[in-house]
Amino acid sequence: MKLLIVESPSKAKTIEKYLDGAYTVRASVGHIRDLPKSNKDAIDIPGGFIPKYEISPGKEKVVSEIKSLAKRADEVLLATDPDREGEAIAWHVKEAVGLKNPKRVRFYEITKDAIKEAIQNPTEIDDNLRRAQEARRVLDRLVGYDLSGLIWKKVRYGLSAGRVQSPALRIIMEREREIRAFKPEQYWTIEADTETIKNIKITLGCDKEPRDINEVEKIIEIGNKEEWSVKSVTETETKRSPKAPFTTSTLQQTASTRLGLAPSRTMGIAQKLYEAGLITYMRTDSTNLSVTAQDQMAIVINKKYGANYAHKNIYVTKSKNAQEAHEAIRPTDANKENAGLTDEQQELYRLIWKRTLASQMSDAKVLRTKITAVVGAGEIPTFSINGSRMLFDGWLKADPEARGEDVELPKVAKGDILKLIEIRNTEKFTEPPGRYSEAGLIKELEKRGIGRPSTYASIMKTLEERKYVEKINKALLPTDTGEVVSDFLEMNFPNYISDTFTAEMEDELDDIATGKREYVKTLKDFYGPFAKEVKAKDKIEKVTNFGEADASIKCPVCDGPMIIKLSKNGKFLSCKKFPDCNGARKITGEAMEGPKETGEKCPDCKDGKLVEREGKYGKFISCSNYPKCKYIKKGEGAPVNSTGVKCPKCKTGEMAERRGRFGIFYSCTNYPKCKYAIKAKPTGKLCPTCGSLMMLGTKTIPERCSDKLCPNHNPHKLEKK
C-alpha cells in the first residue's frame, strides 16, 4: 500500500480520483499539532526557543488513523500545500506519527499531469522553510503574549496586541488623525455650457478652481460678456497595457473592489477552487506564468478574439522575496471560461480567468482629446474638456470592467466660435484623505513590506474580530478600543510597531526560509531587547482614564466631575469618584439609560436590588451593587426573547432567542429544568416524520427539521439518493 497525505479532505478526494487507486489518500485536516493556548511556557526560551507542541484538540483520531495506515504502507508521501505553512504541516505529521523517511511532494496545481509529475520527482521536507514558519509562530506568540499581558494590566482586561496586526492598526490610526486634523478649505468650480457652430452642446470646466469669491464673480462677469472660441484641440494616442496576472494581494484587492469580498472570504473561495483543480496555488507573490500556460492562453485568445489580440507578456515580480518557481494565480485550463460550484466560486474563477487571459493580450489603444477654449483676450483662465475614444480594445476585450467610459467629443477646430448658453459656479470644500478600505490597506501593507501574502487576510480578520476597527461602507474606521490600544503601543513601543522594524523582521524570517539566517540567533537578537523593554514598562502607571470630561458635564448621581473611560463597548463618561459613585453618561454627555429595576432584592448581598442589564449575549439580571456584588440571576425569571412557539419537550415553556459563545440559538424558557435547544429560529410547525420542531433553513431549503438524525434535516441528501 502507498499512502499520500494532504491537509484538506476535499483536496484528498480530487487527488484520489486522479491517482486511480494507486495511493490511499488521507487528509490531516489542517495542522495536527500546535502550541498550547495561552501558555508562555509552551516555548523553552533558555533552551533555544524550542516550542513544546501538542496534538491539537480533536485531532487525536486523525493522528491515530494516519499512524495506523503508515505502519502498513510501503511508501508515504507528504503532499501538503507548497508554502511555509504546508511545509510545517508535513513536518508535524512526520514527527507526530513517527515517520522514518517520508517523501515530500508539492502540487502547484491539482491536475492529473501535475500530480503525476510531482509524485515522480519527490524531495525532502525543506527544513529551512519549516523553520521560518516555526520562527514566525514562536515570534508571534512571544510578542502577543508579552504585549497583551502588559495591556491587560495597564489598560483593560481582554485586549490584545500582535506583531503584525499592531502596525496595521497604527497605519489606520495615522490616517484617522490626518482626517481629524484636516481643515477644509473653500473653493469654487466653474462650468460653462456652450454650443459649437454645428449646434452640438459641450460643457467646459474652468482650468482654475478659485479660492476667492471675488475672482469667481469676475470670471463669470467676463464669461457672460466676452466671446468664446476654441484655443486648441490636442489629440494624443496612448496605450493601456494589461495588468500582471494575480498574486495573493492583488487578488484580494480586486475581489474586494469588484465583488465586495472580504480578504478572508476571497482566500476561502480560492482554496476551494485550488482543491477542485480549477486554479493554481493561491498563496503566491510571483507574477510569473509558465511557458506552457502562456502557450495555452495564446491558443484560447487566437480562437476567441483573433490573432491580433494575442501578445506574450512577461512581468517582473516586484517582491524581492518572491519565489519565481511559483506561478501567479491562474486557471489550470484556460479553455474553461466558467467554473465553480457556487455563485461566489464562479465569480472569483471568472475574475481570475479574465485577468490571466488579459495579461497575455495586446495593449489597448486610446485616442485622448482635449479641447481648450479661451474667453475674449484671455483675461480669465481657460476652460477645457477631456475625452477619449477607443481605437483598439486589446486586452480590454477580455476584461471590459476595467475599460471605463468613452467620452467622445464633437469635431471642432482651432478658432471656432463657441456660443455660451450658461456659466455657473458651485461652492465646494476640500476633502480629507479617505479612510482605508481592506483592499487599500492590503496595498499599503504590501508597499511598506509589512506582512506576507499568507498573512493579509488574517490581519484584516483579527482587527475586526478584536473590534479594533469596524467596516462602514467598505471603509475601515478605528473603534475607541482600537484607538486606545494603538495609542498605548505608539507611546510605549514605537520601535516595535514601526514600518522599518516590522519590514526588517519579515526580511529576516525570509532569510531563515532561504537558509541565510539561523533560527535561534534571529529570535535571540529580537527577544532579548524586547523582553527587557516590556519588563521596564511594567513600572508605568495603570491607565485608568483617558482624560477629563468637559467641565460642564456633571455626574448624574452626585453632580461631581467626570472622566473618560473605556468599556467593552467603547468610551463613556464615568464619575471621578467611582467605585464610590456609579454615575455614568454616554461619551457625548447624554444621559445613559440606567439598569431597569425588577423589584427584587439580591439574594447574595441582601442590600442590593436586582436590575436588568444589556450584555454581550443579550439581556441579563444582576445585582445593582456590581462590581462589589457579582450575582447574576439564571433560570426561571431571567429575561428572554420568546418566539411564542411552544417547547415540544416540556409542553409548558416557549422557545426563546438566546446568545451564546457561538452566536444566536433558541432554547426553552424553562431552562435549566428543560434543556431543549435548536440552532435556528423555529417556524412553529412540527416535522411530519419525527415530530421535532421545524426551523428556518437556507435559500435552497427554506424550512427543515431541527433533528440532525431526521431525513428532513437535509432534504438534499434524499434528492441525491
Which helix (H) or strand (E) is 294 found in, with range? helix 291-304
Give CA separation, 581 vs 553, 586, 626, in Å. Answer: 16, 16, 11
A 10 A CB-CB count for 205 gives 14
Dihedral over Cα of 225, 230, 236, 240: its sign: positive
The CB-side HSE value for 466 (13 A sphere, CA atoms) comes to 26
Strand partners, 232: 372
| Residue that is written with C-alpha cell 509529475 in the block | 117
Cell numbers placing 405:
467610459
- Give every CB contact of residue 475 below 8 A, 6+ residues apart in sequence: 434, 435, 436, 437
Give CA separation, 568 vs 27, 495, 614, in Å. Answer: 40, 28, 12
In whole angstroms, what is the distance from residue 441 CA to residue 478 CA? 13
Strand partners, 310: 361
Beta strand 364-375 pairing with 228-240: antiparallel
Cell numbers placing 135:
520562527
**Euclidean distance between the first and final Cα of the chain, in Å?**
32
In whole angstroms, what is the distance from residue 692 CA to residue 647 CA? 10
Angle formed by the axes of helices 263-275 and 343-359, to 10°? Answer: 80
In whole angstroms, what is the distance from residue 17 CA to residue 23 CA? 10
Closest CA to 227 of 204, 194, 199, 198: 194
In whole angstroms, what is the distance from residue 190 CA to residue 231 CA? 18
Collapsed DSSP state (helix, strand, coil) of residue 318:
coil
Q: In what order do the strands lie in the sheet with 570-575?
A: 562-567, 570-575, 584-586
> Looking at the chain, how many residues does it have?
721
Judge whether 649 and 676 are in contact, CB under 8 Å.
yes
Residue 712's region, left for phi above 0, alpha for psi from -120 to 50, else beta, is alpha
DSSP secondary structure of 202-247: EEEEES---S-HHHHHHHHHHHHHS-EEEEEEEEEEEEEPPPPPB-
A 10 A CB-CB count for 245 gives 28
| Residue that is written with C-alpha cell 509552551 in the block | 42
Beta strands in 376-520 (DSSP E): 383-392, 417-429, 469-472, 475-478
In whole angstroms, what is the distance from residue 385 CA to residue 546 CA? 52
Catalytic one of 108, 281, 456, 527: 281
Cell numbers placing 167:
502596525
Active site residue 496: no
In whole angstroms, what is the distance from residue 600 CA to residue 609 CA? 6
| Helix (H) and strand (E) counts in the chain | 17, 30
The C-alpha angle with vertex 128 and arms to 127 and 133, in degrees rounded to 5, equals: 95
| Residue that is written with C-alpha cell 429575561 in the block | 639
- Our CA dihedral for 487, 491, 497, 501, rounded to 10 degrees, sits at 160
DSSP secondary structure of 345-361: HHHHHHHHHHHHHHHTB
In whole angstroms, what is the distance from residue 375 CA to residue 230 CA? 9
In whole angstroms, what is the distance from residue 670 CA to residue 636 CA? 6
What is the set of active-site residues?
Answer: 281
